[in-house]
Amino acid sequence: MGQYAGLLLDSIVSGVLVGGFYAAMAVGISIAFGMLGISNIAHPALILLGSFIAYVLNSQFGLDPILVGLLATVPFYFLGTLLYTAYEFAFERRGTQLIRGLAFFFGLLFITEVGLQLIFGVDYRLVEAPYIGPSYNIGPVSLPVRMLIPFLASVLLLVGLQIFFARTFTGRAIMAVAQDKFALQLMGAAPVRIKRIAFGLSTATASLAGAFLIILQPVEPSMGRDYIGRIFAICVLGGIGSLPGTFIAAVIVGVAESITATFYGPSWSPAIAFGFLLIALVVRPAGLFGRA
């Protein structure tokens, strides 16, 4: 096998691994934006909040970052329900969610970012865990465990959510609220309550994604912004509200970025997601797996 092919294979594999992790970041937006129609652009900032919680508990008490991420889903869920209550009260009820709702989430994004900057400064922070150093090598392909663990955990997260949406009453009600609010009321479910639960779930995924992020790479507060375009590109490409679609789109974007980074230099890779976003919006706004 030539060196070139080996390099290509290696970048594809790492692209798939990173892509799986992107899916965990994007799934929250997929729920909020795709199913509930709430354009929560503050989601990446919440992910970084999750990362910094993992950082604090890891550096102070030596807790495992994934364990922290899992525990933090509970406060994040309640934070989400609180945010939705405010959002519903201030915007959805008045019908002003488009402009002022967007500005509201943008303000939250900004407050979170600047707040983290004031507390932690602009230095890169990282966590320590036994699985962050080692790496398996299969031929020319290297499998760093710090990438493998977020990938597997993300897959588990998505499968769990998919089962929840397909099998439980609440899950199905969340899928239904996007389609027909009135019919849902006739089935005996309150749309606002269902949306509150769904938004809580969406923000809860941010604490896990944040833990994965800080395992994968050191973080600093303003990083979230770079992920906004990427996450929405994945959601649009994957088809609004479709979890399998989100996963596949995330892997496509991850591989494309990884190949670009390997052959043209990492400074170009942020432009890839934007290219995908524009192409998806222009060619097929319903995404690869969208129903519309």
Partner 1 sequence: MSNGRFILLACLVGVALVGASTFVTNEYYVFAAYFVLQYVVLATAWNILGGYVGYVNFGTTAFLAIGLYSAAALNKWLDLPIPVLIPIAGVLCGAVGLAMGYLTIRLRGVYFTIATLALSVVVQTFITNWDYVGGSRGIYIMRPTDAPVFGSYVAYLFFLMTVLAVASVIVARVIERSTFGFGLAAIRDDETAAAASGVPVLRLKLVAAAISGALMGMAGAPLPFYLTYVEPTSSFSLAYTVNSVAMPLVGGTTSWLGPVIGAVLLGTMQQAMTVLISSSVNLLVVGVLLVIFVIAAPNGILGLIRSLGGKKVDPETNPLAAMLVTEKRSSP
Site residues for partner 1 per CB under 8 A: 39, 41, 86, 90-91, 94, 96, 98-100, 102-104, 106-108, 110-111, 113-115, 117-118, 222, 225-226, 228-229, 232-233, 236, 265, 267-268, 270-271, 273-274, 277-278, 281-282, 285
CB of 48 to partner 1, least distance (A): 14
H-helix or E-strand spanning residue 136: strand 135-138
Q: By C-beta, is 108 or 198 nearer to partner 1? A: 108
Q: By C-beta, is 58 or 81 nearer to partner 1? A: 81
Q: By C-beta, is 215 or 259 nearer to partner 1? A: 259
Q: By C-beta, is 134 or 285 nearer to partner 1? A: 285
User: Are 276 and 233 a contacting pair, CB within 8 Å?
Assistant: yes
**Furthest C-alpha separation in the chain:** 63
CB of 287 to partner 1, least distance (A): 12
CB of 279 to partner 1, least distance (A): 10
Rounded to the nearest 5 degrees, what angle is found at the Cα of 16, between the Cα atoms of 12 and 19? 130
H-helix or E-strand spanning residue 245: helix 243-264
H-helix or E-strand spanning residue 178: helix 169-179
CB of 80 to partner 1, least distance (A): 16
Q: Which of 209, 219, 156, 218 is nearest to 47 (CA)?
A: 209
